[in-house]
Amino acid sequence: MRDQDGERDGTGEDGRNDTPHEQEPSPDPEPRHNPEPHRDHGPHRDHGPHRDHGPHRDHGPRHDHVPRHDREPQRDEAPRHDHGPRHDQEPRRGRPRSAAAERAILDAVIALLEAGEPLAGLSIERIARTAGVGKATIYRRWSGKEELFVDVVRDMEPDDPQISGTEGLADLRVMLESLRTRGLAQRSSALLHNIFAQMKSHPKLWDEYFGTVIAPRRAAMLAAVRRAVAAGELRDDLDVELIDDLFVGPVLVRTVHRPEAPLPDDLVDRLMTALLQGLAPRRV
């Protein structure tokens, strides 16, 4: 309050300067007044006090009148920085949109293939235009066409089965049944059949599919065979890869090399029974 009075008189800081001036030996009060105008040039420093809008600091205090609140808002400003995290939550809100974009891209490739476009003729630009997304959206998810086409094939095929990871023959049977159902899917879809035919004539694309899809499936089958051997369900004097080929080979022959051969529901059970009992005639 003194500052406000000082501001009105133009003596806010001069009040301090007046004390030195009062100590000067000038008996006349008027000479003081004369120097004071000169200090009023000094009070033009009192524009300095108008910095005493330093009383505006007192407005500051009026803000400081909300001072404690002011400090709490400063804590609240951490939450406002939490607007940052809310922006971070936008990707979370955006994930459904990302899933929708991914779905649109896969559907765009399928639509173009169904329209008769060959795999070799598809470009990222064309796919992006058909999907209604930017090329960057595609490249954020796939490094190139090969990786994208592999995901298109996987999307069209039945999902890989869930296995226990601890059983031997039981897991092997589940995976053989999955191989049979994928063969049925390929037979029933001219598009899927056509894609596989084209993939085999594009070594880079086939290598991508083999490394991403076939190799992990084969590794899972070999692991199941090893568990069966360890559990005493299969002979331990045969090569594990040979045993795996004996189980997988007949299903592959029917699904890939003999498209006219039947794939009945009991095929896997009959195959496993025959292999486990052996092919030699039973001796009486």
For residue range 120-135, list pLDDT tens digits in order: 889 999 999 999 999 9
Per-residue burial over 41-79, b = 16 or more CB atoms within 10 Å of its CB, e = otherwise: ebbebbeebbebebbeebeeeeeeeeeeeeeeeeeeeee
According to DSSP, residue 282 is labeled P
* pLDDT tens digits along 12-28: 444 444 433 444 444 44
d(CA 217, CA 211): 10
* Residues 121, 188: Cα–Cα separation, whole Å: 25
Q: Considering only CA atoms, which of 164, 117, 174 is closest in space to residue 145? A: 117
User: Is pTM beyond 0.85 here?
Assistant: no
Q: Are 133 and 101 in contact (CB under 8 A)?
A: yes
- The percentage of the chain sitting over the pLDDT mark of 70, rounded to a whole number, equals 65
- CA pair distance 231, 234, nearest whole angstrom: 8
Q: With cut-offs at 50, 70 and 90, classify the pLDDT of residue 102.
A: very high
H/E element, 20: helix 14-23
End-to-end CA distance of the chain: 119
Q: What size, in residues, is the chain?
A: 284
pLDDT beyond 70 at 94: no
Which of 198, 91, 97 is CA-nearest to residue 145? 198
Contact 56, 12 (CB under 8 A): no
Instruction: Quick: pLDDT tens for 169-205.
Output: 999 999 999 999 999 998 888 888 889 888 888 899 9
What value does the mean pLDDT take over residues 68-77? Answer: 42
Say what the pLDDT of residue 200 is. Answer: 85
pLDDT at 284: 67
Rounded to whole angstroms, the Cα distance separating 224 from 164 reads 10
Percent of the chain predicted with pLDDT > 90: 51
Cα atoms in the Cβ-side hemisphere of radius 13 Å centred on 171: 23
> Are 112 and 145 contacting, i.e. CB atoms less than 8 angstroms apart?
no
Give the separation between CA 58 and CA 64, rounded to whole angstroms.
8
Count of CA atoms in the C-beta half-sphere (13 A) of 255: 22
Residue type, 239: D
Does position 226 have pLDDT exceeding 70, yes or no? yes
